[in-house]
Structure 1
């Protein structure tokens, strides 16, 4: 199975600290929280769904690395891209909480929940999250915004803590308002939810669709379902399904238009990954709201 082979390969690349070094967009010299959290999601999924207990030691080392990267507030202040804090690392906290529940390790759960609390503290009254840019001088991106929302909503679903769902809902209400007015979500967003770019981040649109489908499943508000469907349609409309011989057939661009600032002139694999996730989330959403909020999830 490809996913299992990938998990095995990643276990071979783990640093002695338990973290993982960036090997794609830029060659980091140190392991960082975000990459480690992403890979921990994969380990968790393989342990949960494929019973790959041999990967538990690698998952545990990744969890220890994340714990060592947090301060007393739960903020990941060490081993960060550009040595700056990022609200979107609550997605890594989601992986850490899942690991804690898998292994019955409260130290992982405590840090994960503290990070979620810290992330909620970064939200201002209009729903926007501060400290959520990829690097100094950049604008917030729908990609990073969606990471925050998905991390918080999944941590809510595992922990049952209402404050995390409330924070997601507050941001989602503003996104619904913006989308209803603009009929799209620009790639880059200002602190008052104003558009700061003319291109779309297709990855971010797919991720936001996942969040809105999840919200609809929990709360049954059809506004969330409709915006999720529209965001997913925005992405699907850009997919090439007419040229099977082309290397980008079936893939999702980084930006639309493709020369936009997010992953320009690229078809990043994670864009297609999140598109697939969104299609699966749509299927679940269309079965109707469940109202269930407690669930152990690993992807």
Structure 2
């Protein structure tokens, strides 16, 4: 039997004892370390994409992940603008070129990592890369990015059902083909509509979010909203669905979308623990359905709360966001000399929890950066 690595046992023991948290530095230090970790991750592979995660139990990086590399791109452009860093601007542009290199012939983006034996076109993954191409086109004006953007968005419209839902081309790595969190794909289409001035994409985005409202129960809970278990969705997919619903509503001036998202986000806020974290899964009564925290979901929802604070002018949303971000910062190790862990954000807390256990996903660092930058803008 293969013996677990010393690093794995270190995290296992510390997480079980509940002492795997650290003193927090200032927000900018945490932000800089997360950005540096993403840069090191990009440099690991032979291509310009970002590995999906580092597996701490196996001591191994995954292959590059088109979906999440796609939405890391605008985060790095935002960070580059904030820090006046040409390095991060160049990194983001290289990622966007790589995304165009690996785009499928029909315009879609594949499921999973780039080393998959069969590259399957997938709706959600395609929607996430729209963010990257839209940002790259805005930043560089390169026609290649506009072409990739229009091909991908046209494919999404071609496979969208009349009621606004996507029922085809779900990810083969999820249990259910119908996903309410595709509101995040709708938001990607809205980015495409803005970038290349195509109203059809905005109309398709609105139709999908209108459909998502048909999946919402009176208490704000969404049906069909998890990767595996729709009875108790992750805060990660709750965050996808609600943040996108809110932002589409704000950008299109659709009060019904904003009100629905606000209602649900208030129910999530009521679940926040004393330490600032959220239960990693929530059931249909908004009760904790997991003891661990999904760190990605914590910062995604914090970002949505900050958007509401700005839109509503209600400081209580900012306070909830500040506490959630502070919790995630306390799990980010800035003192270790191990470059694989320094600045990374784990999948779960404790480290071996039920979402991406013993792994550091690239999207956790991305959404953490988004939340910290939004919080600093609100200061």
TM-score between both structures, scaled by the size of structure 2: 0.72
Cα distance change, pair 33–146 in 1 and its aligned pair in 2 (3 A): same
Shift of 1:258: 0.9
After TM superposition, list the pairs within 5 Å mapping 1:1-299 onto structure 2.
1-24=90-113, 27=116, 29-82=119-172, 84-135=177-228, 139-179=232-272, 184-286=277-379
Counterparts of 1:278 and 1:210, CA distance in 2: 5
TM-superposed deviation, 1:48: 1.9
- What secondary structure, in the 3-state scheme, does the structure 2 residue paired with 1:126 have? coil
Distance, in Å, in 2 between the alignment partners of 1:155 and 1:137 is 23
Is the alpha carbon distance of 1:182 and 1:167 closer, same or farther for their aligned partners in structure 2, counting shifts above 3 Å?
A: farther
CA-to-partner distance for each residue in 1:54-83, whole Å, 9 max, x for gaps? Answer: 311100011011112210000011111246
Which residue of the partner structure matches residue 71 of structure 2? none
Once residues 233 and 8 of structure 1 are traced to their aligned partners in structure 2, the CA distance between those partners, rounded to angstroms, is 35
Q: Are the structure 2 counterparts of residues 209 and 26 from structure 1 closer, same or farther at C-alpha, using a change threshold of 3 Å? A: farther
Contact between 1:86 and 1:133, CA under 8 Å: does it hold in 2?
yes
Q: Aligned residues, how many?
A: 286
1:25: how far off? 9.5
Q: Distance in 2 between matches of 1:270 and 1:25?
A: 16
Task: Give, in angstroms, the shift of residue 26 of structure 1.
Answer: 9.0
Closer, same or farther: CA 2–279 of 1 in aligned 2, 3 Å:
same
Contact 2:271 2:279 in 1 (8 A): no
Q: Which range moves more in the overlay, 204-213 or 26-35?
A: 26-35
**SS of residue matched to 1:253:** coil
Structure 1: gaps of 5 or more residues: 287-299
When normalised by structure 1's length, the TM-score is 0.91
For 2:97 and 2:107, the matched residues in 1 are separated by: 15
Superposed CA RMSD: 1.8
> Is the 1:179–1:185 Cα contact (8 Å) retained in structure 2?
yes
Kept in 2: contact 1:214–1:285 (CA 8 A) = no
